[in-house]
């Protein structure tokens, strides 16, 4: 599935519920699917700033694609991270950099999170894109260096 | 006291809905809602007599200057200061503390001097003193608190010494709701000839405040926490201190005579009010203080103690809930955690049930560290809240527990 296909399937899944409690229950469930970060990466270096709850995110780049693992100490936040990981993990740096994450607005996550909380969500996205840019740059450098 | 329905009708926002549910506003520690008389007073300024104060010779300027000075008198009378010259309008409690920390530091503080604060303080009563200490090579000392979040008085007495130059403490802990015995702290400080600043941001709206009885040397508060507008606050200082302290901001209105060689300063209170102050908000604040007095401050205190007991009992029934700050003297602010559930998760679900609470460290990170926690959920209640709203909070917490465990 492409990034947009995954986004569309998430939008479909959330559209089944009108009630916010049900949406939260779905988020809580989704949080359980999050590929869990190795405890050794649950350190300050992998902590994302700007969230009310703690979020650790670790990128693993095999030279072609990036796999993300993550965790949070808050369950709803873990659900949100799991959505981002679902959409962006296993993609090339270029795909991640150019991804337009419209699902956040479509499932009503952004409007329903206050600005500071929303910044937490945006911080996660920014961090994922930053990692991708770094890996992308390294890839280009390695190509020149050879 | 006025009937609760009538009181609530005075605050238009309280009847609104969020997510199609009645708003249950329990975030009064962060800011209070405004009665219509305050909103009207603000409107009135802009609709009918707006003009810069103390500047013009014209009718409107006279009119607004008079309203502004009347507001100063309202504050004086509200906190029972001796003179209206002792009331300085500022941007808020934070602005007031920063101003005093700068002026006091410039005038009195030298290398090795000590400032005492408590472990309960809001960042606004920590950081300005740290900045001053850094500038002057002074040392910040901290009164510890016990497991209930009450300051340990004997430890305070041990900290006081000839090196102490100022004590700055909160009247009420913003994070826990505990009331601090500021009068006793002032007495001990004065026995060393040391002045005491009281941060009244969480105190002024919950009962009688008498700065002369308290015998504090400085008292600061924010308008928006006592049902007034944002962007206005006060600094009260005993006249002798304010006369001795240098101004912390220069500009218009605070001067006597300006030449490029030397400027002499205006007299109190204008010396500390550089630039155009937020006079509409000051006038709005006076309307808020009048409103509070019209309800009755003693009645407000009694009503809030009822709510404190009711909420304490109801929250106490929830087995997995732990309250931080079990002081015997409290305002109805409850800082709590539910066992095994992150404060953020609790806050998010309560929000969706229409209940507004605050989550996080409440700008009191050292206090959270003291309890070994990363934050709490804080429900801060005031006189316009009801038992029914507390029931909705309790129901919300039960829902949270069922969702996350």
Model confidence pLDDT, tens digit, residues B264-274:
999 999 999 99
Pick from A28-37, A90-99, B229-238, B299-308: least confident:
A28-37
Say if A37 falls within a structural domain.
yes
What's residue A112's pLDDT?
55
- pLDDT of amino acid B244: 96
pLDDT tens digits, one per residue of A45-67: 999 876 678 899 999 999 999 99
CB atoms within 10 A of CB A142: 10
CATH value of B4-30+296-404 in 3.30.360.10, 3.40.630.40, 3.30.70.20, 3.90.1150.10: 3.90.1150.10
Residues forming a β-bridge with B118: B143
A77-103 exposure pattern, b = at least 16 Cβ within 10 A, e = fewer: bbbbbbbbbbbbbebbbeebbebebeb
Cα-based distances in Å from A79 to A29, A83, B15, B25, B70: 7, 6, 33, 27, 55
Task: Judge whether A145 lies within some domain.
Answer: no
Q: What is the pLDDT of residue A113?
A: 56
Taking any CB pair shorter than 8 Å as contact, residues of chain A touching chain B are 20-21, 24-25, 28, 52-54, 73-77
Q: Which residues of B touch A74 (CB under 8 A)?
A: 342, 344-345
Q: Is residue A146 part of a domain?
A: no
User: Per CATH, which fold does B40-293 belong to?
Assistant: 3.40.640
Catalytically annotated residue among A51, A81, A85, A101: A51
> Quick one: pLDDT at residue A23?
87
- Please answer yes or no on whether B348 and A20 come within 8 Å at the CB atom: no
Regions of chain A where pLDDT drops below 50: 115
Q: Do B345 and A52 touch (CB under 8 A)?
A: no
Q: How far apart are CA A127 and CA A115, in angstroms?
A: 18
Q: Which residues pair with B277 in a beta bridge?
A: none
Mean pLDDT of B363-391: 97
Q: Stretch B292-300: mean pLDDT, rounded?
A: 98
* Beta carbons of A70 and A57 less than 8 angstroms apart: yes
> Which residue spans of chain B are classified as CATH 3.40.640.10?
40-293
B364, B386, B394, B391: which is closest to B178 by C-alpha? Answer: B364
- Taking contacts as CB-CB distances below 8 angstroms, the residues of chain A near B344 are 52-53, 74, 76-77
Domain tally, chain A: 1
What integer is the mean pLDDT of B289-313? 98
Residue A119 placed within a domain: yes
How many C-beta neighbours within 10 Å does residue B355 have? Answer: 24
- Which residues in chain B touch residue A79, judged by CB atoms under 8 angstroms apart? none
Query: What pLDDT is recorded for position B320?
Result: 95
Q: Show the DSSP H helices in B317-364 as ranges.
A: 343-352
Flag the least confident range among A113-117, B180-184, B343-347. Answer: A113-117
pLDDT of res. A50: 67
Could you count the other beta carbons within 10 Å of the beta carbon of residue A13?
A: 14
Query: Which of B189, B245, B174, B182 minimizes the C-alpha distance to B212?
Result: B182
In tens, the pLDDT along B5-23 reads 999 999 999 999 998 999 9
Residue A109: the pLDDT is 73
Tens digits of residue pLDDT in B123-158: 999 999 999 999 999 999 999 999 999 999 999 999
B345 with A25: Cβ contact below 8 A: no
Half-sphere exposure of B67 (CA within 13 A, CB side): 27
> How much is the ipTM here?
0.86
| DSSP label at residue B45 | I
Q: What percent of chain B has pLDDT over 90?
A: 94
Residues of chain B with CATH 3.90.1150.10: 4-30+296-404
List the catalytic residues of B. 363
| Measured torsion, CA atoms of residues A132, A133, A134, A137, in degrees rounded to the nearest 10 | 120
Closest by Cβ to A24, choosing from B344, B352, B359: B352
Tell me the count of A-B CB pairs closer than 8 A.
Answer: 36
Question: Which residues of B sit within 8 Å Cβ distance of A?
Answer: 19, 341-342, 344-345, 348-349, 352, 359-360, 374-375, 399, 403-404
Residues sharing a CB contact under 8 Å with residue B145, sequence separation 6 or more, in sequence order = B118, B119, B120, B151, B152, B367, B370
Q: Are B220 and B89 in contact (CB under 8 A)?
A: no
Mean pLDDT, rounded, of chain B: 96
Interface residue of A74, A109, A112, A119 to substitute, partner B, most B CBs within 10 Å: A74
- pTM, full prediction: 0.93
CA distance B394 to B397: 5
Tokens of B317: 């029934």
Report the chain B residue with the minimal C-alpha distance to residue A24: B349
Assess contact for B377 and B325: CB atoms under 8 A.
no
- Compute how many other C-beta atoms are within 10 angstroms of the C-beta atom of residue B304: 21
Half-sphere exposure of B32 (CA within 13 A, CB side): 29
CB contact under 8 A, A75 and B352: no
| CATH number for the domain harbouring residue A94 | 3.90.1010.10
Q: Do A101 and A129 meet the contact criterion of CB atoms below 8 Å apart?
A: no
CA distance A93 to chain B (A): 32
pLDDT tens digits along B60-104: 999 999 999 999 999 999 999 999 999 999 999 999 999 999 999
Give chain A positions within 8 Å (CB) of B345. 53, 74-77
Mind spelling out the 3-state secondary structure of B292-306? HHHHCHHHHHHHHHH
- Cβ <8 Å between B403 and A76: no
Domain that holds residue A116: 3-140
| Least Cα separation, residue A112 to chain B (angstroms) | 9
The answer to whether residue A123 is domain-embedded is yes
| DSSP reduced 3-state for B163 | coil
**Per-residue b/e over B234-243, b at no fewer than 16 CB within 10 Å?**
bbbbbeebbe
Secondary structure element (H or E) that encloses residue B329, with its range:
none
Render pLDDT for A106-124 as a digit per residue (tens, 0 to 9): 887 766 555 455 557 788 8
Is position A7 within any domain? yes
């Amino acid at each position: 599935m492409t990034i947009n296909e995954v986004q569309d399937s998430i939008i479909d899944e959330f559209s089944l519920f009108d009630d916010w409690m049900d949406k939260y229950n779905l988020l809580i469930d989704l949080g359980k699917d999050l590929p869990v970060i190795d405890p050794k990466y649950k350190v300050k270096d992998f902590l994302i700033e700007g969230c009310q709850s703690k979020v650790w995110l670790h990128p693993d780049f095999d030279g072609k694609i990036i796999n993300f693992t993550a965790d949070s100490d808050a369950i709803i936040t873990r659900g949100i991270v799991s959505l981002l990981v679902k959409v962006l993990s296993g993609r090339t740096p270029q795909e991640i950099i150019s991804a337009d994450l419209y699902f956040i607005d479509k499932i009503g996550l952004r409007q329903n999170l206050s600005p500071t909380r929303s910044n937490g969500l945006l911080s996660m996205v920014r961090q994922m894109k930053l990692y991708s840019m770094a890996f992308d740059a390294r890839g280009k450098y390695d190509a020149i260096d050879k | 006291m006025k009937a609760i329905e009538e009181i609530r009708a005075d605050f238009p926002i309280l009847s609104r809905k969020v997510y199609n549910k009645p708003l249950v506003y329990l975030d009064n520690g962060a800011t209070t809602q405004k009665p219509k008389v305050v909103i009207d007073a603000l409107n009135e300024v802009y609709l009918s007599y707006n003009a810069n104060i103390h500047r013009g010779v014209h009718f409107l300027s006279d009119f607004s200057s008079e309203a502004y000075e009347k507001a100063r008198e309202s504050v004086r009378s509200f906190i029972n200061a001796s003179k209206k010259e002792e009331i300085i309008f500022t941007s808020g409690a934070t602005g007031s503390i920063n101003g005093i920390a700068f002026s006091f530091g410039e005038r009195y503080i030298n290398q090795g001097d000590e400032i005492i604060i408590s472990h309960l303080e809001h960042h606004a009563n920590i950081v300005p003193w740290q900045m001053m200490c850094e500038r002057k090579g002074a040392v910040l000392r901290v009164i510890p608190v016990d497991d209930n979040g009450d300051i340990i008085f004997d430890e305070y007495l041990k900290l006081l010494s000839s090196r102490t130059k100022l004590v700055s403490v909160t009247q009420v802990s913003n994070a826990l709701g505990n009331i601090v015995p500021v009068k006793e702290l002032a007495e001990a400080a004065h026995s060393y000839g040391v002045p005491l600043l009281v941060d009244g941001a969480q105190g002024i709206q919950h009962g009688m405040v008498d700065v002369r009885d308290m015998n504090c040397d400085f008292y600061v508060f924010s308008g928006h926490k006592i049902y007034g507008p944002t962007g206005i606050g006060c600094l009260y200082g005993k006249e002798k201190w304010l006369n001795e302290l240098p101004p912390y901001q220069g500009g218009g209105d605070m001067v006597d005579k300006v030449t490029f060689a030397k400027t002499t300063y205006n007299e109190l209170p204008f010396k500390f009010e550089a630039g155009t102050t937020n006079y509409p908000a000051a006038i709005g604040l006076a309307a808020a203080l009048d409103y509070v007095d019209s309800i009755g401050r003693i009645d407000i205190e009694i009503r809030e103690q009822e709510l404190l007991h009711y909420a304490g009992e109801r929250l106490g029934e929830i087995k997995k809930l732990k309250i931080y700050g079990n002081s015997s003297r409290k305002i109805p602010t409850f800082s709590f955690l539910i066992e095994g559930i992150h404060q953020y998760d609790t806050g998010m679900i309560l929000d969706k049930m229409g209940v507004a609470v605050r989550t996080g460290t409440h700008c009191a990170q050292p206090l959270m560290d003291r309890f070994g926690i990363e934050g709490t959920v804080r429900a801060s209640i005031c006189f316009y809240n009801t038992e029914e709203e507390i029931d909705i909070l309790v129901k919300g917490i039960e829902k949270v527990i069922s969702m996350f465990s």
